[in-house]
């Protein structure tokens, strides 16, 4: 389980969300056999998706982040529901790079910097709301900040971090998203910027002191009020019914071709790896039923 803290300060001119969720990232690491740097890349994207998804209003709303930078990991995808529960995957989960000169994981190098961050919000409307920005660094937090500032005109700052142990287990994972109301005084903005500059390393704070210390350091000099603590976790809503719906979408002809091969069709969930088996008769059962004039027409053709 992980946790998101929702915080306000300065008469709601400042809104802060802090997440700590090492178990969530550890679950992703195990499912996808992630390399250390891939754990950091996917983990950061999942944490960012959770922070944004938790702010959605509708119970069935979802948010998807896709990071495509042309690096060895390929595309990285994270999906959050409106509670902040997430799932995710990377095209090349075992891709890795040597650590940078400063000893940190080279997430930007693994993701690449020649591409985009795409944000899709499905709010139950006819079409999802989709926006994107060119990547700033591939380090995820900077790219997410750029999206919020450029595409949504929200003064924002984001920090995301994943601490990977020597045995590849996730020791700490979390982040923060601080946003100011439009028109916030310059003095307020400068104070937040100074606080962020003076912060200790994010993963060290989370590993040693917890999310409350992140609140104290980001909002040093203010009087923060914690409004809510909400649990978040890895969650994949896949089911046999959802997979069946996906198979129906490939069309009647393709379903008949699969069934004619007279062997099991195995479908794996891209997010959690769960496998679903469909026998030829299961595939035929997915075909649309013919009724009325259509059925009568078929019988007439057969008799001619």
Q: What would the DSSP string read from start to end of 21-89?
A: -HHHHHHHHHHHT--HHHHHHHHHHHHHHHHHHTT--STT-EEEEEEE-SSTT-EEEEEEETTS-EEEE
Choice between 185 and 195, residue whose per-residue pLDDT is larger: 195
pTM: 0.91
For 74, residues 6+ apart whose C-beta sits below 8 A from its C-beta are 68, 90, 91, 92, 95
Confidence (pLDDT) at 152 = 82
Q: What is the pLDDT of residue 304?
A: 46
pLDDT tens figures, 91-125: 999 999 999 999 999 999 999 999 999 999 998 88
pLDDT of residue 290: 60
Query: Can you tell me whether residue 118 is helix, strand or coil?
Result: strand
In angstroms, the CA 285 to CA 268 distance is 20
How far apart CA 101 and CA 109 sit, in angstroms, is 12
Residue 298 has pLDDT above 90, yes or no: no
Tokens of 264: 């099991």
Helix ranges, 249-291 (H): 252-260, 280-285
What's the pLDDT tens digit per position in 7-21?
A: 999 989 999 999 999
Are the C-beta atoms of 153 and 161 separated by less than 8 Å?
no
C-alpha distance from residue 275 to each of 44, 243, 266, 281 (Å): 26, 10, 7, 18
User: Among 42-51, 72-81, 250-259, where is mean pLDDT lowest?
Assistant: 250-259
The mean pLDDT value for 289-300 works out to: 51
Looking at residue 115, its pLDDT comes to 97
DSSP-assigned beta bridge partners for residue 229: 5
301 band by pLDDT with thresholds 50, 70 and 90: very low
Note the pLDDT tens digit of each residue in 125-183: 888 999 999 999 999 999 999 999 998 888 899 999 999 999 999 999 999 999 998 88
Mean pLDDT of 216-229: 96
pLDDT of residue 295: 45
Q: What is the pLDDT of residue 122?
A: 94
Q: For position 195, what pLDDT does the model report?
A: 97
Rounded distance between C-alpha atoms, residue 146 and residue 155, angstroms: 10
| Biggest alpha carbon–alpha carbon distance for the chain | 87
């Amino acid at each position: 389980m992980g946790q998101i803290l929702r915080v306000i300060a300065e008469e709601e001119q400042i809104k802060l969300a802090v997440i700590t969720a090492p178990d969530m990232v550890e679950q992703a690491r195990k499912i996808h056999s992630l390399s250390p740097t891939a754990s950091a890349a996917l983990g950061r994207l999942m944490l960012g998706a959770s922070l944004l998804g938790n702010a959605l209003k509708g119970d069935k709303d979802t948010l998807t982040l896709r990071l495509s930078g042309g690096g060895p990991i390929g595309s990285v995808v994270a999906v959050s529901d409106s509670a902040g529960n997430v799932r995710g995957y990377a095209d090349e989960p075992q891709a890795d790079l040597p650590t940078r000169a400063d000893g940190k994981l080279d997430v930007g190098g693994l993701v690449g910097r020649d591409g985009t961050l795409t944000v899709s919000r499905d709010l139950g409307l006819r079409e999802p709301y989709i926006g994107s920005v060119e990547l700033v660094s591939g380090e995820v937090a900077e790219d997410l900040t750029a999206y919020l500032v450029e595409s949504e005109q929200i003064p924002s700052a984001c920090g995301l971090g994943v601490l990977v142990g020597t045995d590849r287990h996730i020791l700490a994972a979390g982040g923060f998203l601080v946003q100011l109301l439009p028109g916030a005084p310059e003095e307020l903005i400068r104070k937040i910027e100074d606080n962020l500059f003076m912060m200790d390393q994010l993963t060290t704070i989370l590993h040693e002191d917890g999310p409350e210390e992140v609140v104290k350091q980001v909002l040093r000099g203010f009087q923060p009020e914690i409004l809510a603590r909400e649990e978040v976790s890895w969650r994949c809503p896949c089911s046999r019914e959802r997979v069946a719906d996906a198979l129906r979408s490939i069309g009647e002809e393709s379903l008949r071709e699969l069934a004619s091969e007279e062997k099991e069709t195995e479908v794996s969930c891209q997010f959690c790896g769960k496998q679903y088996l469909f026998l030829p008769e299961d595939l035929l059962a997915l075909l649309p039923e013919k009724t009325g004039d259509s059925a009568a027409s078929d019988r007439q053709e057969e008799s001619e």
